[in-house]
Structure 1
Amino acid sequence: MKVRHLVTAATTLCIGTAAFAGPQCTEAPKSSWLTEDVMKQKIATDGYTIDKFKVTSGNCYEIYGKDKEGKKAEVYFNPVDGSVVKAKQG
Structure 2
Amino acid sequence: MKKTLTILAALVALPVGMALADDDCFVPMADWQPRDAVARLAEESGWTVRRIKIDDGCYEIDGSDAEGRRIEVTVHPATLEVIEIEYEDDDDRTRRDRKKRKED
TM-score range, shorter chain: 0.5 to 0.7
Segments of 4+ moved more than 6 angstroms: none
Cα root mean square deviation, aligned: 1.7
Identity %: 27
Match of 1:62 in 2: 60
| 1:5-84 aligned within 5 A | 24-56=23-55, 58-84=56-82
Q: What is the CA distance between 1:87 and its match in structure 2?
A: 1.4
User: Any stretches of 5+ residues in structure 2 without a counterpart?
Assistant: 1-21, 90-104
Match of 2:19 in 1: none
Amino acid at match of 2:63: G
Structure with higher Rg: it is 2
TM-score by length of 1: 0.67
Counterpart CA distance in 2 for 1:36 and 1:66 is: 18
RCO (CA 8 Å, sep 6+): is it higher in 1 or 2?
1
Q: Say how many residue pairs are matched.
A: 68
Match of 2:86 in 1: 88
Counterpart CA distance in 1 for 2:42 and 2:31 is: 18
